[in-house]
Amino acid sequence: MLAFLLIKSDPRPRSKKMQKLRKRKQSELQPHNQAHFLSNKKSSAKRAPPISGLSEVAKDPYPTHQWPTPDQCRAVRDDLLALHGFPQEFAKYRRQKPTTDNGEESESKESVLDGLVMTVLSQNTTEANSQRAFASLKSAFPTWEQVLNADSKCIEDAIRCGGLAPKKASCIKNTLRSLLERKGKLCLEYLLDFSVDEVKAELSCFKGIGPKTVACVLMFHLQQDDFPVDTHVFEIAKALGWLPAGADRNKAYLHLNQRIPNELKFDLNCLLYTHGKMCRKCIKKGGSQIKKGSSDDSCPLLHYCKSN
């Protein structure tokens, strides 16, 4: 009987011993896990805002497509710069602020809200027509308060030369109304202090303001590192092999913003846009596009297409 009790009671101390060992291991692991959690929490709270022009959660939709490389971007930028010079129409939007004769920084006459409306008016029309539409709008209604209070038909008449007048007038009115309701005044200068992601979140709240419009405002009017993808940029990027077959504009925007170095985005974007307007070999219109093996050297981009 005594032997039976000893045998029966023998596993219990071992069970307690195992429980103690488990508790000791848990106590050893817990501080590490807790410290790791707190460390992650602190680092996420202090994480700097993204500067790439993409949301932190945005991923490259074509991660296995390794073009363009930074060297390719730089080479294309340099060749187009040598061919065209920097487009004067975009010179005022470069990072350096305009200066007065005394060397002091002067304030730009264009507000961020001006830039947003100009970008809306530039949709589906030529640059000349959109500029005329904006000048006509400002002539008829010198302040944004007057535009907001004006009849929609009057706004349509003022911007009719830019095309899609009813749609654009509605977008402008809705944006102004929403901005006044949200901020109490018709001003977007507060976006100058926002990160790229914050600007995207803010402007996406306005009905009719799409990703391309936001990207243009970011690059031109807020001087942020972003790379808008319009028709010219999209078609040339496809012809150069910078995008895989079947790529669409939205995914092209994500991919190119990931691949193109921030310091090259502004100049390269402006030069591709300008070149696309001037060189029909680089735009897919009427079946005309860059072809591999072409012996035509009039376009410097043909060389890059041959090498892809």
Looking at the annotation, which residues are catalytic?
Answer: 212
Q: Which long-range contacts (CB under 8 A, 24 or more apart) does 281-284 make?
A: 282/232, 282/235, 282/236, 282/239, 283/231, 283/232, 283/235, 283/236, 284/235, 284/238, 284/239
Strand, coil or helix: what is 103? coil
Q: 285 forms bridges with which residues in the sheet?
A: 288
Phi, psi at residue 124, to the nearest 5°? 55, 40
Phi, psi at residue 188, to the nearest 5°? -115, 15
Q: H-helix or E-strand containing 301?
A: helix 301-307
Phi, psi at residue 285, to the nearest 5°? -130, 130
The answer to whether the bond into 68 is cis (omega within 30° of 0) is yes
